[in-house]
A and B are shown apart, each in its own frame.
Chain A
């Protein structure tokens, strides 16, 4: 285990992360240049040890890209990531390999996340071998609620939920401190989703894990996230403690997302905000506020079309950030 960290210092910190995908240029870069896809466009956040940041946004908003660049599975365009105080993007390959043990990832699609030619046992033994660990396949399987007999099975013999458990066991095999859970339940049957969510919550408290929990709607992260960040077109548009954001969302986009979440209390009535249009292409983001073409805010003005709203603190609560010129106004 690592040295105890001073209280209040985050385990993971992301500073102004940017990832632009250059458009294909073809033959040795000849041909007409096209604008890059701004998948992630200046994202910053920090996650305290043992806590969970829920990262929420529509498809294509850049959530997966954030998770993967943080783990250096993809090269970032710019920005920095700190893990336990060390600069992740500056590590050489030897130190990076050591870091691989501390930061792990669970994937969205249980069908493509396991090598179809390897048994469950082989899949789980590989990381143990890479890092010369003494862990056991059977205890890993038991920890994620699978019978040790599964070690001999191939992925195609498993259900989606079982595969996802194997993917979780694989991530745990190297005893990480931080796990990126990239929509770990969105591909599963509704009946299985709750089981896997509960498993992840159990594992978090048992192993004192820190999560970046990615989801495309606010309902999934409600019970697991301590802090929620909402992404839109590569930017974080609102970030606040979970209780805050559900009770008093400040950004019109968050409000719209929240209005789509079924209310636990059936007597509560709420107005459903339906967003017009589709999410614009990140290759051609709108000028000004990226959300303005779809924004239903009554105060929407010329300013929204020209001036990019910074992510700023919205009173009264400190620690509640929103990127909207009119975050204080009711909708």
Chain B
């Protein structure tokens, strides 16, 4: 680690703390954010996620080494953590910390985009099924039943049969399109109850079309469970990517992802656990942070706590 990368790391930590402070400052003005910060872990979750996102964005400044460079395949293979190699080196003598930093780009990217695809498709399918009901609902929900019953890994393996290694965007789509079933069912249930609300009937009575009703009146009021399921979805996608990489069908090496780093370190996990442990910890940290944030959001967005006159 050079002085410059230490400095960049420090700046990243300060920025993350600052981000939490800024959000928290808003909390004084808004009942909703106050409820969010009632969970002490929620602030930590936001801070850790902010830190990792900053690290991912500023990877070239923060990573001390080229993540793919084999520094010295004879002398620096499986080097334990030190001041130079913060998290040690892996079996190919690459700096693990640098790979974690660059891996954040890939893993958070897949997690975020995969969850985005899943939540968008799930919300749309759920809203259409719940709003139109009848055969539309029957067909879509049977699809969801089948999707939930089939093991996702199996579907993805089928997709992989078409490519030997999945390009990033195919992986995002493949994961996203096999992860929306739960969200779809959740949104449908929400829409089924929302569509009977008088304000939805009022909008129809005033001549609003189906699109206007769904996007203006139904989905915004179903936002709470959607946002919470999105936050949890990112973690699930991250874990799924790790499993895929472990099976050798995730991101193509040498590009680092936290998933394929676990796979890389697995053979030497007893002699040099740091590669696997670092990547595993990074994944756990993200998943735990997301769970904490989701908990806070669940409270913050709870319509039953919506203040006001009754």
A147 to chain B, nearest CB (A): 16
Q: Is the CB of A109 within 8 A of B206?
A: no
Q: Is the CB of A100 within 8 A of B309?
A: no
**A71 contacts B by Cβ under 8 Å:** yes
Q: How far is the CA of A28 from the CA of B208 in the complex (A)?
A: 30
B135 to chain A, nearest CB (A): 9
**A158 contacts B by Cβ under 8 Å:** yes
Q: How far is the CA of A156 from the CA of B202 in the complex (A)?
A: 18
B175 to chain A, nearest CB (A): 30
**B204 contacts A by Cβ under 8 Å:** yes
Q: Mark B204-236, 1 if CB is under 8 A from A, else 0.
A: 111110001000110011000000000000000
Which residues on the B side are within 8 Å of A114 (C-beta)?
A: 199
Q: Is the CB of A156 within 8 A of B221?
A: no
| Given known contacts A105-B202, A116-B221, A126-B216, A157 and B207 CB-to-CB distance under 8 angstroms | no
Q: What residue of chain B has the Cβ atom nearest to residue A154's Cβ? A: B308
B301 to chain A, nearest CB (A): 11
Which residues on the A side are within 8 Å of B217 (C-beta)?
A: 115
Which residues on the B side are within 8 Å of A173 (C-beta)?
A: 206
Q: How many of chain B's residues touch chain A, expressed as a range?
A: 20 to 34
B223 to chain A, nearest CB (A): 8
A117 to chain B, nearest CB (A): 5
**B138 in complex: contacting residue of A28, A73, A108, A158, CB < 8 Å:** A28
Q: Is the CB of B309 within 8 A of A105?
A: no
A-B contacts at CB below 8 angstroms, number: 69
**B203 contacts A by Cβ under 8 Å:** yes
**A112 contacts B by Cβ under 8 Å:** yes
Q: What residue of chain A has the Cβ atom nearest to residue B308's Cβ? A: A156
Q: What residue of chain B has the Cβ atom nearest to residue A99's Cβ? A: B207
Q: How far is the CA of A68 from the CA of B198 in the complex (A)?
A: 11
Q: How many of chain A's residues touch chain B, expressed as a range?
A: 35 or more
Q: Is the CB of A112 within 8 A of B198?
A: yes
Q: Is the CB of A107 within 8 A of B202?
A: yes
Which chain B residues (39-78) contact chain A, with CB distance < 8 Å? none
Which residues on the A side are within 8 Å of B151 (C-beta)?
A: none
Q: How far is the CA of A294 from the CA of B197 in the complex (A)?
A: 34
Q: How far is the CA of A154 from the CA of B221 in the complex (A)?
A: 14
Q: What residue of chain B has the Cβ atom nearest to residue A128's Cβ? A: B206
Q: How far is the CA of A167 from the CA of B220 in the complex (A)?
A: 20
Q: Is the CB of B201 within 8 A of A68?
A: yes
Which chain B residues (287-307) contact chain A, with CB distance < 8 Å? 303, 306-307
**A165 contacts B by Cβ under 8 Å:** no
Q: Is the CB of A117 within 8 A of B220?
A: yes
**A97 in complex: contacting residue of B197, B207, B309, CB < 8 Å:** B207
Interface residues of A (CB under 8 A from B): 28, 68, 71, 73, 97, 100-101, 103-105, 107-109, 111-118, 126-127, 130-131, 154-159, 167, 170, 173-174
Going nearest first, the 5 A-B pairs with the smallest beta carbon separation are: A156-B308, A100-B207, A113-B198, A127-B206, A107-B198
Interface residues of B (CB under 8 A from A): 138, 197-199, 201-208, 212, 216-217, 220-221, 303, 306-310
15 contacts between A and B (CB under 8 A): A28-B138, A100-B206, A105-B202, A107-B198, A107-B201, A112-B199, A113-B198, A117-B220, A127-B207, A130-B208, A154-B308, A155-B308, A156-B307, A158-B309, A167-B202
